[in-house]
Amino acid sequence: MSSPSSDSQTTQQAKRILVVEDSFENRDMLTRRLQRRGFFVCSAVDGAAGVAMSVSERPDVILMDVALGEMDGWQATRLIKADARTSAIPVIALTAHALESDRQKSVEVGCADFDTKPVDLARLLQKIEGCLARPAPR
C-alpha cells in the first residue's frame, strides 16, 4: 500500500467523488475501489439524494447511475446542472447499456462523460482524471 504522501494520491486525496447508485453492490464496489486510490467518496442511493448531496457535499465529480427508479440519473443531472451552486460539477453517466442513444441523452442533459457497466476501473479513472483536469467554467 502506498503512503498518503505519494504523488499519485496527493493530487487525488482532497478530491471528492459523489457516487449516485441504487445498487448496494455497485455502490460499495465503486466506493471501496475509489477510496483505495485516495479519493474521498460519498454516496447517494437515488436521484433525489444525489441532487441534495451535490449541494451539501460539493463533490469534484459525480458518478451518476442512469437507471435510478423514480428520478432517473438524467433527471437528477438536469436538476444539478440547473442549480448555479452545482452546475459546474462534472457528471459522468454510468449505465449498463452501451447504446448511442444513451450516450447522446447523457450529453444532452449536461454530462461531461459517459461510461458503461460493469465498470472498467482503469477507463473510469481516466475519465475522472479528465474531468478533474478541465478548468471549471466561470
Query: What is the domain partition of the chain in residue ranges?
Result: 14-132
Which helix (DSSP H) or strand (DSSP E) does residue 60 occupy?
none
Per-residue confidence (pLDDT) for residue 11, from 0 to 100: 45
CATH topology of domain 14-132: Rossmann fold (3.40.50)
Residues 40, 17: Cα–Cα separation, whole Å: 6
Residues 96, 100, 105, 110: is their CA dihedral positive or negative?
positive
Per-residue confidence (pLDDT) for residue 10, from 0 to 100: 42
pLDDT tens by residue, the chain, 138 residues:
333 434 444 444 469 999 999 999 999 999 999 999 999 999 999 999 999 999 999 999 999 999 998 999 999 999 999 999 999 999 999 988 777 888 888 989 999 999 998 999 999 999 999 999 987 654
Residue 4 carries which DSSP code?
A: T
Residues 116, 123: Cα–Cα separation, whole Å: 10
Greatest Cα pair distance, the chain, in angstroms, is 42
Per-residue confidence (pLDDT) for residue 69, from 0 to 100: 84
Burial of 138 (0-12, 13-18, 19+ CB in 10 A): exposed
Per-residue confidence (pLDDT) for residue 9, from 0 to 100: 43
Per-residue confidence (pLDDT) for residue 99, from 0 to 100: 78
